[in-house]
Structure 1
Amino acid sequence: MTDSAPFDPSAVGARSNPKRVSWNARDCMLYALGVGAGVDDLAYTTNNTKGVEQRMVPTMPVTLGVDFSVLKRAGKFDWAKLLHAEQRVEILADIPVAGEAEAVTEITEMWDKGKAALIVARTTGTALDGTTLWRSSAGLFIRGVGGWGGERGPAGTEEAAEPTTGPTKTVTYTTRPDQALIYRLSGDYNPLHSDPAFAARAGLDKPILHGLCTFGFAGRAVLEVAGPDRTLAAMSARFAGPVWPGDTLDVDLSQPDEHTVRFDMRGRDGKEVLTGGVATLRRRDTTATP
């Protein structure tokens, strides 16, 4: 007996109902703490430091307004067989530390992997004045729903396939034993990251860290390499392995030109946990005063 069946490719283009989302200075600080920022990152972790203007960590939109219920339009599947395979975020305007937007999640791609499917769900956040603020695309690998006769799709992004050149730097972070408990307060309450019994049912010795939390750590490393006058325009990476709270993360970065940073991340025992990372930079507006 199975709860899964081949997906219906006509689901490409299906959209969720619009969702009103809001965030404030506290939400921004909580997300920053969740991705490991601290006393050396007061622009992200405080809102009343003299001479420092508060900013949102630019990877934070991955937490805003995502509605994966739209995946049901593709067909019936077992949610336990869903893996987050890759992530991309585009920051299309300056996003304030307090604001409101309307978010819609759309199925933009479906690829037939034989015994599985890769589906891309893109969430677009639009300010109430009509300005598009961000797009966040999740690549989701789902076992048991392939086999409808569709195309297999690309093996990876063209950007990630380009060779790494330029000077290389490694940024190292040590995650907290309670890192997942902090990160989940930004909205991802999957018990895989908090409940030891649930993690054991998944074959793990203890709860693992959210993939999007490691994505946020990588974003911080990119910003460290980019310098204070640059911020993210876009960032993408593939998830290659699990991270446990308390693990050390080594982010290997190179900057082939002033607009691009490439990166991979290694976790426990030097195993890759993020691969094919590419970040596009833009100049940050530093004219505002706190």
Structure 2
Amino acid sequence: MPTSVSTSAPSKRRFYLRWPFAVAVAAVIGYGVAVAMHWDDRGMLWVKERFETSAERSESVWLPNYRVDIDAKVLPGMEDDEASDVAYSPHTRTLFAVMGKNPFLVELSLQGDVLRKIPLAGWSNPEGVAVLEDGGIAITDERQHDLTVVKVDAQTVSLNHADFPSYDLGESVKSNKGFEGIAWDPMRQRLVIGEERPPKLYTWNSDGRSPLKGQKQVLASDDLDLRNLSALAVDPRTGHLLVLSADSNMLLELDEQARQVSFMTLLGGFNGLQSTIPRAEGVTMDDQGNLYMVSEPNLFYRFKKKQQ
């Protein structure tokens, strides 16, 4: 009678030989993903945040304390327009947002209600918007690599690119990943301009009233470790810079030396968000410290700081 040979032992050995290899592969892949997503940096910053004193937190924006109070409000009739950025105007106490796919400027209330739409003739792909010292509105065009300062009043019904002064921003490293964000810094009297990928910051000194002179200057930052830069905002109270990244699902706070201070994830379940913000493209802050965001295709968010 033939003797049967058991195959269970060799199979077990092969399993145990494969198991360490599979774990090693998973660990390498996990580490690569963590580095690519900058989870390692966020983890270090999260630990650092735990040691910040109450005084240090009060001197910053301190994003962990923000909670959404208007969550994914739909901007009606703008499903195909792609919200690109938003800026707060202290002159009108309203918001101005730019739409990139079908270029126009839209004025919003602080509750995200549409007040009016202003067509932008001559713009190709407006991506950034900022309200200057005198109420002028700076608009960056990613495709045309320029910055245009327009005037808007209660009677404005349309804007033509050729009617206003424009300033060449120069070529970006990647033509379709160009100058994406812009913010007015009233404390330092300058514009801050952001390049999308790789993320990079520039400044352009101005009094916010006169025509721009000179050229943009590089603002060095070793802490700008985000997958892309979608938008910029400046807190008028602290002067700290807020950097939005759609690809990283992150809002990052930088201090006056462009060092990381705090961050806020835009994933569902955090900071009161029911769902992940689909693609956050614009951010601004008012003089009361309230945060506003817009996301593609046509969503509006407002965040308020909870009482400590």
Give the TM-score normalised by structure 1.
Answer: 0.26
**Which protein shows a greater Rg?**
2
Give the TM-score normalised by structure 2.
Answer: 0.25
Q: Which structure shows the bigger proportion of residues in strand conformation?
A: 2
Q: Which structure shows the bigger proportion of residues in helix conformation?
A: 1
